[in-house]
Amino acid sequence: MRTKFLQALMVVFLVSSAFQAKAAIISVEGVEVEALSINTSFESFYNFTDWSANTGYEIANELVAFFVTDASDALGLFMIFSGPGGDAGSVNFDLLSSEGSVVFVDDPDGRDPIVGTNVSFGYAADKTDGLVFSEFVSDSWFIDVVFNSVSGVSGFNFLTFDANGVADIATSGSLSDFSISSASAPSAPVGVPAPSSLLILLLSLTCIVLSKRKFF
């Protein structure tokens, strides 16, 4: 009886640990990146004002890209071209993906229409263009970004974020084609976090039960 009880307890512990493990691993050209967690929508965070994105991560004459999880826990890829102090520019590229779609473009009235996988942007000096790509339905997918023509953009920076929301550059370089992929994390938990309060309580109760069975 005691053996079965201990086995059941271990199952509870492992299941709980698995739920705490990361659901998927996202990498850009083989470099792992983490998303920024926000408590609002993608569009609100993009904060399209005065013909520009206003996330706080814009860089003049550069592409800045990063992932965000919104208030509904949806995952979105932000791609923002240029920023304050930048030159006028234009870019045409293809987003080739196994799933997902563009859910937001920062120009109103279809000034920069997206046709299928093809994206064309054109922006004035000191302004930006950009988009949010989302609607992923699984943990495993890929996106290939293929540039056809570029003007006014000299490089790219792909950001990653720590648990406190602090940004760091995961990878950067001159602007060229790049690939993003997501894969399910290993089924066995890696770096299992400290036991939760519930698990600590269960372990304590187990010790009490076993000690009483020993003396009675």
Q: What is the pLDDT of residues 149-163, one digit of tens each?
A: 999 999 999 999 999
Alpha helices (H) in 21-155, listed in sequence order: 42-46
Residue ranges in the chain modelled with pLDDT below 50: 4-22, 189-194, 196-203, 205, 207-211, 214-216
Residues 106-141 pLDDT 10s? 876 555 667 668 899 999 999 999 999 999 999 999
Residue by residue, DSSP assigns 105-151 as ESSGGGSS-EETTEEEEEE-TT--EEEEEE---SS-EEEEEEEEEEE
Note the pLDDT of residue 6.
43
For 9, the token pair is 């307890």
- For 182, other C-beta atoms within 10 Å of its C-beta total 20
The closest of 23, 39, 60 to 185, measured between CA atoms, is: 23
Query: How much is the pTM?
Result: 0.76
Place of tokens 């009490």: 208
How far is Cα 27 from Cα 126, in angstroms, rounded to an integer? 31
Note the pLDDT of residue 111.
59
Q: Are 128 and 106 in contact (CB under 8 A)?
A: yes
Note the pLDDT of residue 194.
47
Q: Which residues pair with 78 in a beta bridge?
A: 66, 132
How far is Cα 147 from Cα 78, in angstroms, rounded to an integer? 16
Q: Are 82 and 153 in contact (CB under 8 A)?
A: yes
Place of tokens 């953009």: 153
H/E stretch holding 90 reads strand 89-97
Please report, as a single letter, which amino acid is at residue 184. Answer: S
Note the pLDDT of residue 106.
86
Note the pLDDT of residue 52.
95
How far is Cα 103 from Cα 79, in angstroms, rounded to an integer? 12
At residue 76, the 3 state secondary structure works out as strand
Please report, as a single letter, which amino acid is at residue 69. Answer: T
For 126, the token pair is 């000191």
Q: Are 137 and 98 in contact (CB under 8 A)?
A: no
How far is Cα 78 from Cα 56, in angstroms, rounded to an integer? 12
Note the pLDDT of residue 186.
66
